[in-house]
Copies of this chain bind each other. A is one copy, B any other.
């Protein structure tokens, strides 16, 4: 059953944004139909549509269910990209594949700041509902690399680095049933100083396989490996 996002599971009239209204229209929902609404924080309900017009929808909420979140959590720290569209689809795909938290990371060689946070949040929300998950991943404000020491991070910590050395593959190193943090650099890669600083904070350098992956592909691939190990 399709999920439909509402900020709160309440009886009565709500005004979903355009995206969700379009979504309802595509699904050809009408009065009397039942839809599954979800707040993206683990609560859902099968609600009845009492009325529906161009701007708002009135719902009767029947019973509220709570989903317990027990799966391990992946935090992706990843540099914004010059090409905003590539960053957007990375967010969409990582969300579908169950990422827990995304921290945009401003590295020395990051070429663009992150804009349109609202738009990015909507993409994530929509991909969460579309892939039938009850928890929306957290997207934080951008973080400067020099401030990574201030984060409280749980589980295994990895930094994906393109330079050749004796790094292990992420697929061999990432453990099942454990939280993890993966750091992905900008198109020009991390600087040696950044790698050193990450190492000092317990980040282990890993390889993402034989091919040179673009930043956004590296993000999706890391998330895919985590999803594979924990699904």
| Residue of B whose beta carbon sits closest to that of A71 | B210
Q: Is A133 an interface residue (CB 8 A)?
A: yes
A96–B225 alpha-carbon span in the complex (Å): 15
A96–B90 alpha-carbon span in the complex (Å): 14
Residues of chain B lying within 8 A (CB to CB) of residue A220: 93, 220, 224
Residues of chain B lying within 8 A (CB to CB) of residue A225: 224, 228
Stretch at the interface among A54-62, A101-109, A177-185, A211-219: A211-219
A228–B172 alpha-carbon span in the complex (Å): 9
Within 8 Å by CB of A96, from B97, B217, B228, B229, lies B217
Within 8 Å by CB of A227, from B93, B98, B209, B231, lies B209
- Please tell me how many copies of the chain the complex holds: 2
Q: Which interface class (under 10, 10 to 19, 20 to 34, 35 or more) fits A? A: 20 to 34
The answer to whether B231 and A98 touch across the interface, beta carbons within 8 angstroms, is: no
Within 8 Å by CB of A212, from B89, B132, B213, B217, lies B132
List 19 A-B residue pairs with CB atoms under 8 Å apart, sorted by A's residue number. Answer: A96-B211, A97-B217, A98-B209, A98-B210, A131-B211, A131-B214, A132-B211, A133-B211, A169-B228, A171-B229, A209-B227, A210-B231, A220-B220, A220-B224, A221-B224, A221-B227, A224-B224, A224-B225, A228-B228
Residues in chain A within 8 A of chain B (CB atoms): 89, 93, 96-98, 130-133, 169, 171, 209-214, 217, 220-221, 224-225, 227-229, 231
